[in-house]
Amino acid sequence: MLGEYAWGAGALAYLYRQLGIASRAEAKGVSGCLTLLQCWIYDHFPTLRPSRLEPRELERGQAGAFRWRGTAPRSSKRRDAQMLAYYRQAIDSLTPQSVSWTPYGRSPHLTVRRTLYQGLLRFAEIAEYYDPTRCLRQLGYVQGVPYPPERPLVVRRPASTLGYSLSYQSVYDSYWNNLGAHSVHLDLFSTPIRRRPWEFAENYMSWYIRHSHPHILSDSRPVDDISDADTVSTIIF
C-alpha cells in the first residue's frame, strides 16, 4: 500500500489520466477531481478567476478549495458562448507578468518534502509519471530542460476516447515510500531564481520548441528571437 498522502497522489494520477483522455479529438468532456484543477488555475492565473470569488485565508485543517467561495452564474447557451470567447481572449492575452508563478511561496518543497518526488503516481491500475523538473519555476528555481520521462510499456492514444491506454512495465509503491532515493535534488539540477519569476535556462526554449506542439504557440519566430518578455503561451503551454 502507498504511504502517507496516498489519497492525494491517487487523485492526481486519476486526474492526469482523465486530462490525457480529454485531449483526444472525439472527447466531449472530462472527469476527475476538477475542483483540484480549478483551484490550480485560480492560483496561477489571476485574470481567469471568476469575479465573484475572492481569495481568503484558510483556517487550520481546511482544504485549499475553501479559499474560493461564491455562486456561479446560471448557465445558458448565450452566456456560455460569451464566457468561452472571454476566456479564449484572456488566455491569448496572458503575459509573464500576469501569471502567479509561485502561488504557494518561493520554496513549498521545504514545507512539503514530497513535492520533490519523481516517479509514478498510482490509482488502482492507473499509473502516471510525475516529475517536478517540469515545473521548476513553481518551486522558485530557473526552468531548465527536464529529465526524460519514464517510457511506458504500452501507449495507445487514438482519436477515440475508448481506445486510450497507457501502462508501465512496473509500478513500485516502494518508490513512493522511499522519498530520499526517488526525489529531485534541486540545487544539483538548477539554480534559484534571481531576477524574474519566469526565468528559464539558455537551452530550454530550443528544447521546448522541439518537443511541443507548434500550433499552440503564439507565433512562429525562430527560437533565438523569443525572449522572456514574450507572451506566456510561448513559454509554458
- What pLDDT, in 10s, does the model give residues 163-211? 888 888 776 677 777 887 888 999 888 999 888 999 999 999 889 888 8
Amino acid in the structure at residue 120: L
Q: How far is CA 162 from the centre of its chain?
A: 24
Instruction: Write down the pLDDT at residue 141.
Output: 93
Q: Is the pTM of this model over 0.75?
A: yes
Q: For 143-158, how does the pLDDT look when each residue is reduced to its tens digit (9 = 90+)?
A: 999 988 888 888 888 8
Distance CA 233, CA 209 (A): 12
Cell 539554480 belongs to residue? 191
Answer whether residue 62 shows pLDDT above 80.
no
Nine cell digits for residue 185: 535534488
* Residue 86: partners with Cβ closer than 8 Å, 6 or more residues away: none
CA dihedral 157, 21, 160, 24 (to 10 degrees): -80
